[in-house]
Structure 1
Amino acid sequence: MKKYVYPDNGKFIYKTKSGSYHILKKKRVDGKIITKFYGAFKDYNDAIRHRDKCVEGNWDMSLVYSNPMKFIQKRGKRYHIQRRGKFYGAYSNVIDAMNERDLLVKYDWDIEKICECHDDSISGISIFKRRV
């Protein structure tokens, strides 16, 4: 497997002989190099998006989804966030719903923590801010 270098910075992305792209992070532990696998993709652009999400989440896989719609359901013209039967909000566009879902995951679904840190909301108008 060789590192795939593109002008848009292919760091952590490796191309296999079969043509797929693997996201691998190598680090040295006790003098040994440990390689951790973070996903495989057929499309290079999908690999870039996933790698960027991994970097943004400090390589915490609980913040990265292979299913970008996880916990989000489309109902009519709105996107609802639900987990284990609990409703967390409805949004008019999928990007806002994904951003709020990511915020929920980041704070382990604890609305109190999110209320304390509501400036962390990407959309700036978090449903949790309105509940306080």
Structure 2
Amino acid sequence: MVKIIYQTETKTFEKIPRYIYQRRNGWFEIRKRVGGVLLYWGSFPTLEEARLYRAYYMGKHWMVNPCFKANRYIIFENGYYHVMKIINGKKNYFGFFKDYEDAKHERDICMACDWDFNKIVEFDDLDYTWLGQPIEIEC
């Protein structure tokens, strides 16, 4: 893979591949126009992650559900990644984390448990974390 880099007197810019666009908040999103309709395939915190997903989508000839979002239910606010889902019209927070990977891990557990607090608490996971910190579980 060849990286094309542009340089000016004060900044260095890396060429962003086709279908990837950088948002104002620094995240990268994948968009593609299909049949005259602009479809969105997700937002990613790094260009490398966006490139990996773009390669996957292109390998599948874009025959992937465009509603999939890698960062779905994760929002970045006040320096933390929040796992949040709107249930019955109300915002429900399932934790906040300094690290994006920890937030993704917790979000995946919540999705696997169908966002049921009782199931999430009972979820058997070797590496228990709450608010990004490991915790002890007593049986």
TM range (shorter): 0.3 to 0.5
- Structure with the largest fraction of helix: 1
Query: If the length of structure 2 is used for normalisation, what is the TM-score?
Result: 0.42
Query: If the length of structure 1 is used for normalisation, what is the TM-score?
Result: 0.44
